[in-house]
Amino acid sequence: MTESYTIYGIVDSDRPAPEGIVGLHGGAVTNLPYRGIGAAVSALPGPVGDIATGAVRHEAVVERLMETHTVLPMRFPTVFGSPDAVVAMMARHYDSFHKSLCRLHGRVEFSVKVLCPDRSLPESAHPCDRERRPTSGRQYMQERYRQHKGRQVRQEQAAQWGIIFHASLGEWVAAKKVGTLVTDRLAFDGIYLVDMARQGDFRRAFANLVGEEPDLQYLLSGPWPPYSFIEAID
Amino acid sequence: MNETLSAENDVTLLEMLDRVLNKGVVVSGDIVISVADVDLIYVGLRLLLSSVETMQRLSGSVATGVLKEPAS
């Protein structure tokens, strides 16, 4: 296989990348410049290889770049055949990249997940549970209705929690993407775009939330590069 | 490391993989390599969350925590 180039992200600088950043398969990360922005790339001597290992390395490079630049992280793996092809891609998408770099400058994302307790779930008969298995169409429909009502109640409850979370976290948030009752127990799944300078405030607001509903389990992860707030380019 | 912390680290890893493989800038045209099975990551995340739930049900504990410390 001939040499190719993997891209880690688009950065808000056309100057050389900081020295010492090691990419996939030990390749040195360099910055390919174009009109004031750049593409952080490294040469690939062969196939990408193990996807999980490569993804971890990709993320490490993006986080390292974020120490000195605003970065639009690329989805992994994005591989081009030559530096010229990378620069041509930047030329095609320059306006989108420039706009996104301005919007995401100095911002990171956090993930908030909330799990509801077991007892809020309605009990349902397992198909193997002979004693509780519906024995008539009427019983079956009653069971289905009970499950539907249970889910409806949980959906309303999850929406209410979403309102409470936003009231607590919203002050520190530049943008958000939230989903409620994603699974039976994943009551709330929120991704928040936060100014780096305000992430301490965001964390404190989250910590205060944790005690509000002692039965819920709250999971916070971040700061992450703003992967979830990249608008579609193509 | 107790089981809850271990599971939370797994969640963090899967959250990272979910981002790196499913989100970010997507460009097309000159790409020479792609991955066809990235959807498996979503499945994995769902399964992992389910396993966290099962573990908590068994232990009867409710844990809270920060999964990833801020970069310093």
pLDDT higher than 80, residue A206: yes
Q: Give A69-114 pLDDT, tens digit per residue.
A: 999 999 888 888 889 989 999 999 999 999 999 999 999 999 888 8
**Cβ contact (<8 Å) for B63 and A217?**
yes
Distance CA A153, CA A108 (A): 34
Instruction: Output the CA angle A109-A113-A117, nearest 5 degrees.
Output: 170
What type of residue is B70?
Answer: P
Quick check: A125 pLDDT over 70?
A: no
Of B23, B50, B67, the CB nearest to A230: B23
Per CB-CB distance under 8 Å, the chain A contacts of B28 are 234
A26 touches chain B (CB under 8 A): no
Q: Using CB atoms, which residue from A186, A223, A230 is nearest to B25?
A: A230
Q: How far apart (Å, rounded) are the C-alpha atoms in residues B5 and A3?
A: 41
Predicted local confidence at residue B32, as pLDDT: 46
Distance between first and last Cα of chain B: 23
Partner residue facing A234 (CB), from B17, B27, B64: B27
**Tokens 């389990």, located at residue:** A217
Q: Name the token pair of B23.
A: 């989100």
Instruction: Tell me whether A227 touches chain B (CB under 8 Å).
Output: yes
**Confidence class of residue A226 from pLDDT cuts 50, 70 and 90?**
very high
**Range from A34-38, A48-52, A225-229 carrying the lowest mean pLDDT:** A48-52
Give the pTM: 0.74
Residues B49, A118: C-beta atoms closer than 8 Å? no
Q: Which residue of B has its CA nearest to A214?
A: B62
Chain B residues near residue A233 by CB distance under 8 angstroms? 25-27
Q: For residue A190, give every residue at least 6 positions away whose Cβ sits within 8 Å of its Cβ, in sequence order, or none.
A: A111, A112, A113, A162, A165, A169, A176, A177, A178, A179
Cβ-based burial of A54 (10 A; exposed 0-12, middle 13-18, buried ≥19): buried
| Contact between A115 and B64 using a beta-carbon 8 Å cutoff | no
pLDDT-derived band at A20 (thresholds 50, 70, 90) equals: very high
The tens-digit pLDDT sequence of chain B (72 residues) is 455 555 566 677 888 888 888 888 887 644 444 444 444 444 445 545 555 555 455 444 333 333 343 333
Question: Quick one: tokens of A187?
Answer: 């009551």
- Count of A-B CB contacts under 8 Å: 134
In A, which residues are within 8 Å of B8 by CB distance? 219
Minimal-distance CA residue of chain A relative to B46: A183
Percent share of chain A, pLDDT over 90: 45
Does a cis peptide bond (omega within 30 degrees of 0) precede residue A223?
yes
Q: Which regions of chain A does DSSP assign to beta strands (E)?
A: 4-11, 30-34, 37-44, 71-73, 79-80, 107-115, 175-180, 186-195, 217-224
Confidence check: pLDDT of A224 > 80: yes
A225 contacts chain B (CB < 8 A): yes
Q: Is A23 on the interface with B (CB under 8 A)?
A: no
Backbone angles phi, psi at A30, to 5 degrees: -125, 165
Coil, strand or helix: which one is A101?
Answer: helix
Provide the 8-state DSSP code for A74. B
H or E, element range at B61: none
More confident residue, A120 or A142: A142
Q: Is A234–B26 a contact, with Cβ atoms under 8 angstroms apart? A: yes
Per the CB < 8 A criterion, the answer to whether A39 and A73 are in contact is no
Compute the average pLDDT of residues A208-214. 76
Strand partners, A111: A191, A221
**Spatial strand order in the sheet of B65-66:** A175-180, A186-195, A107-115, A217-224, B65-66
Residues B64, B8: contact at Cβ < 8 Å?
Answer: no
Share of chain A above pLDDT 70, in %: 90
Q: What is the mean pLDDT of residues A207-227?
A: 83
User: Shortest CB distance from A219 goes to which of B11, B29, B31?
Assistant: B11
Inspect the interface and report whether the beta carbons of B16 and A56 lie closer than 8 Å.
yes
Residue A83 touches partner B, C-beta closer than 8 Å:
no
Test B25 with A9 for CB contact under 8 angstroms. Answer: yes
Determine the residue type at A10. I
Token pair in block for residue A8? 């880690």
Name which of A98, A74, A88, A93 is nearest B25 in CA terms.
Answer: A74
Q: Return the pLDDT at B41.
A: 42
Is A217 close to B70, i.e. CB distance below 8 A? no
Residue A48 has pLDDT above 50, yes or no: yes
